[in-house]
Amino acid sequence: MEASNKRKSRRSFLRNLTLGTTLVSASTQIMAKSYNQNLKMEGRLYSTKNLTANDQIQLALIGSGIQGIYDTNSALKVDGVKLVAACDLYTGRLDRAKELWGKDISVTRDYREILDRKDIDAVIIATPDHWHKKITIEALKAGKAVYCEKPMVQNFTEGHEVIKVQKETGKVCQIGSQGMSSLGNEKAKQLYEDGAIGEMVMLDMFNDRYSTEGAWQYPIPPDASPDTVDFDTFLGRAPKIPYELTRFFRWRNYKDYGTGVAGDLFVHAFSTLNFILSSHGPTRALSTGGLRYWKDGRDVPDVTLTFYDYPETKTHAAFNASFRVNFIAGGGGGGGFRMVGTEGEMEVNSNSVKLTRSKLGMVPGGYSLIAYTEETQKNIKKGYAAKNLENRKSALNIGESNYEAPSDYMGSHYDHFFNFFQGIRGKNKIVENPVFGLRAAGAALLANESYYQGQPVNWDPESMKLI
């Protein structure tokens, strides 16, 4: 936003905050120059009462693994959606699909059979990353609406073809970063645009894990064999290698099929960050890390630290972003997404936002005054006091606001699918289309580019190309 609008939003926020403070704070708290608010975010209305037969959506799943199951379970909570088919290259997952969603659904190991069916309106693509582009494009050309799991593509250059085909076909395409449509993101965007944290200074994102599962060492089923696993098809465009179950069931650990922590975890943060700031993304990345513990044959790091530069735009100041992931965090698991501004900070989650506004120390204290004589110290203090830099009005705007989703909130995953299906019905705009998806994936994948090159890399967020 432009400078005048920023100042106007900030004044509006401060005025509303002060009014809110007088309502929720006791007089003793006001005199203590602080407030602590626990507030409920406004819930969502999911209106599907007027659905007609034409609004019913026939859905199919391509890639019935962990994320595919979670996706489908969330999708089927939305009214007017029916799963009719599932595809996977391991027959055990097809058996599981029938357990979960009924014996009547059809199952196949060939996704093309799904795309050939005229009765299927939409597909979820939850395959390994190296299949995303190919199946998405073929599905769009086959007339299907597509929900493609993040990252939209495995490498930068593939994204432009997806965008082109989506525009040519006019079919709905939603990229599946499931927190994107959350109440938390919506509230954080509102607070930021209202000036709650002032100018953006930095973003601190971290994800610590301390388990085999968190490090992508997923279990390999005992019935897996060349008869039950179509390994050759799984390889796709990747280098041809002998049958290896570890690569099939733990594909995230290999560059040939996945995108490491960048495509699995960073991309979620970029979707949220770019949405809140109405930003197109960073211009530069510098990444480091290494394989510190999980030396199980994987060729992606288990510790990654990446630093990004965001340029000044109409919607945000120039700032820096720090992304950190550790798969061997001995202190246990945890994560965070903290937006730091000149006047406050926000910790953003799908279901909550914690806004903290602190006192900026404007008056020197004992640390710096110790270098001066007692008489000089008195004169310095007197001069600062005359400036009235720390007045009662500014003190009223210091404190903490905790925004929580209502207890009946359906959750961010449901929200993202509701947005997708309503988009198919022509009743709203898709929140994460392929352009948005490439900007999020492109920013995330800069981490891999820098890490493997061993040097900083530059990116044009407007054209979505490496420089």
User: Is 359 a domain residue?
Assistant: yes
Residues 259 and 376 in one domain: yes
State mean pLDDT over 43-70: 90
Q: What are the distances in angstroms from CA 60 to CA 57, 76, 120, 193?
A: 10, 11, 7, 38
- pLDDT score for 19: 44
Is residue 272 one of the residues assigned to a domain?
A: yes
290: phi then psi, degrees, rounded to nearest 5: 170, 175
Together in a domain, 357 and 336? yes
pLDDT interval class at 328 (50, 70, 90):
very high
Beta bridge partners of 102: none
Residue 32 has pLDDT above 50, yes or no: no
Residue 395 has pLDDT above 90, yes or no: no
Q: Indicate whether 258 and 403 sit together in one domain.
A: yes
Long-range contacts of 362-368 (CB under 8 A, 24+ apart): 362/389, 362/390, 363/389, 363/390
Please check the confidence at residue 21 and state whether its pLDDT lies above 50.
no
273, 241: one domain: yes
Q: Is residue 410, in this structure, part of any structural domain at all?
A: yes
Shared-domain flag, residues 120 and 241:
no
Compute the distance between CA of residue 231 and CA of residue 247 in angstroms, rounded to an integer. Answer: 9
User: How many domains is the chain built from?
Assistant: 2
In a domain, 225, yes or no: no
What pLDDT shows up at residue 33?
45
In a domain, 168, yes or no: yes
Task: Give the chain's mean pLDDT.
Answer: 92
pLDDT band for position 35 (50/70/90)? Answer: confident
Residues spanned by the domain of 248: 3-44+183-218+232-414+440-466
Q: For residue 457, what is the domain's CATH number?
A: 3.30.360.10
Residues 62 and 78 in one domain: yes
Between 100-109, 301-310, 397-406, 437-446, the lowest mean confidence (pLDDT) is in: 397-406
Residues 399 and 313 grouped into a single domain: yes
Asked whether residue 272 falls in the same domain as residue 385, the answer is: yes
Task: Give the residue-averaged pLDDT of 84-111.
Answer: 98
Whether pLDDT at 439 is above 80: yes
Residues 191 and 329 occupy one common structural domain: yes
Whether residue 202 is found in the same domain as residue 298: yes
Domain annotation covers residue 432: no
pTM of full prediction above 0.85: yes
| Across 139-143, average pLDDT | 98
CATH at residue 124: 3.40.50.720
Comparing 105-114, 160-169, 352-361, which segment has the lowest mean pLDDT? 352-361
> How many CB atoms are located within 10 Å of the residue 101 CB?
21
pLDDT computed for residue 170 by the predictor: 97
Average pLDDT over residues 19-31: 37
- 37 near 399, Cβ under 8 Å? yes
Task: Please indicate, yes or no, if residue 427 is contained in any of the structural domains.
Answer: no
State the pLDDT confidence band at 28, using cuts at 50, 70 and 90.
very low
pLDDT, tens digit (0-9, with 9 covering 90-100), for 180-194: 999 999 999 999 999
Res 4 pLDDT > 50: no
Interhelix angle 267-277/434-453, nearest 10 degrees: 130
Together in a domain, 263 and 383: yes
Better pLDDT: 365 or 241:
241
Percent of the chain with pLDDT over 70: 91
- Residue 206's pLDDT is 97
In a domain, 429, yes or no: no
Percent of the residues in the chain that have a pLDDT greater than 90, as a whole number:
82
Q: Are residues 457 and 342 in the same domain?
A: yes
